[in-house]
Amino acid sequence: MKFMKEFFKRTEISIFMILFLMSFLGILCIYYSLLFSTDRLITEYKQKYFSEKAYQMSFFFRAGLLDPLEAPENGERFEQMAQEYATPVEFVEEGSSQVLYKNKLDYSGYEDPYIVELPIVKDGETLGYLHTIFDMKEDLSSPAVTTFEKGLENSRIYILAFAILLALILSLIIAKNYAEPMKASARYAEKILKGNREEFVPRIGTEETKQLIDSINNLLIEFNNVENWRKQMMEDLTHELRTPLTSVLTRLEAIIDGVYPKTEKNLQDIYEEVERFSRLVSDLQQLSEAEGARFKLKIRKVSVDQLVRGVYEGFLFIAKQRKIKMHFNPPNMPCTAYIDPDRMIQVITNILSNALKYTAPGGDIWLSIEIQEDSFIFYCQDNGIGISEDELNLVFNRFYRIDKSRSRDYGGSGIGLSISKALVHAHGGQIGVKSKFEKGSIFWVEIPIDNQLVSLEGQRKSTEDIHGAI
């Protein structure tokens, strides 16, 4: 029983059964159409046969007809005709509709009576009408009719058998052609599960099957990319965690051994390394929360221009220290939006920190806000080192740095933009960047103005999408 269930669950068998069943139903329809058609042909044949018989009877009767119609000879002629042809018949006089002659054969029991009316004309004058009654259900016992009926019946049987055989063969061929690409895809998928991820599924079959195969291949490409990124991330994460720990442990051991003097400056250096390590762990925790949707946005109505201005003013001192000019272009009209102000400050802070890291002394940074009908867009533009075209799609990846040789000097963990992307998506917004290498970059964040309906479920969906993209 279990074998039968598994057998009929196979794609090839299922397609075959469906195709054959549909074909069989179609063949039955055609067969009964042919049956009806042959019955109609037999009916037409019988009608023609009976009509010819009626013509023979009328010719026999008319040939010996005498005047007047009531003459005894005419009655004898009529009886002779009726006995010879053994068919119910009557003669009706023209004008009076009086039945002059009628044989004694009863036709009241006929299932399907067929009446042939023929005029009896002599010397150009219609004398009356001969009514001949036949039974369409009658077996004619004619060799010609029997042969005709048998030939039609054999033809129907041969056509039915040939059609069923043809449907069987075509169903097998079509089912095999449809199922083979799926079976091949399953074999390749099994190879992938066993670790062979360098071989892609061949693109064969119907358009729908090809779309499925394309999806599998795209998933395989994405999986390989994620796997490569995971390996790189683990290497980066190991390095990021090992660097401050090694530095702190080495200096502490040197202080304990008396090799490294315990001065205020040396202790400050150790403190900064510990702070860097703490900052990295904190950033990783924030990113994990954002991607796992383990937080709930605290949405409230906020003045966007005041929020951005507050971040801008907080960075003025750092920008002055680095000899970078900062500019803020407020919107022409007040702009309020339903957002989580703390999370949005975190987004803008990460973007602005990034701009300060990669802008040389003497450079400029411009902050601006554009108000649209249903959203606002925050822009952060700088004339720093810029980003090459090949790296534009990578800047929001964890631990990715534009200039790896300089980033650690600025204390960056490489996950600030990843956190920003997750938080922006949690607000139902978008984040992006435009850049020219050695010319500068423009980071933009678009957020819907009305976020009152943002729910935990919506945040989870958004951050799950990010989790697959980062």
State pLDDT tens for residues 248-300: 888 788 888 888 788 888 888 788 778 777 777 776 666 666 655 445 778 89
Q: Is the pLDDT of residue 441 over 90?
A: yes
Superfamily of segment(s) 1-193 = PAS domain (3.30.450.20)
What lies within 8 Å, CB to CB, of 275 at 6+ separation is none
Domains 1-193 and 294-469 are alike in CATH topology: no
Pick the closest to residue 355 from 429, 425, 238, 445 (CA basis).
445
pLDDT band at 408 (very low <50, low <70, confident <90, very high): very low
State pLDDT tens for residues 23-65: 878 777 777 777 777 778 778 888 888 888 888 888 888 887 7
Q: What pLDDT was estimated at residue 452? A: 57
User: For 110, phi and psi rounded to 5 degrees?
Assistant: -70, 130
Q: What span, in angstroms and rounded, lies between the C-alpha atoms of 380 and 377?
A: 10
Is residue 128 within 8 Å of residue 91, measured between CB atoms?
yes
Longest distance between any two alpha carbons in the chain, whole Å: 161
**What CATH fold (topology level) applies to the domain 294-469?**
Heat Shock Protein 90 (3.30.565)
Percent of the chain beyond pLDDT 90? 17
Q: Where are the domains of the chain?
A: 1-193, 207-273, 294-469
Coil/strand/helix, residue 102: strand
List 433's β-bridge partners, or say none.
443
State pLDDT tens for residues 195-244: 777 777 777 777 777 787 888 888 888 777 777 766 766 776 676 667 66
Q: What span, in angstroms and rounded, lies between the C-alpha atoms of 191 and 173?
A: 27
What lies within 8 Å, CB to CB, of 205 at 6+ separation is 178, 180, 181, 182, 213
Q: What pLDDT was estimated at residue 348? A: 94
Is residue 92 within 8 Å of residue 124, measured between CB atoms?
no
Pick the closest to residue 337 from 452, 454, 449, 451 (CA basis).
449
pTM, whole model, 2 decimals?
0.46
Q: Is the pLDDT of residue 319 over 70?
A: yes
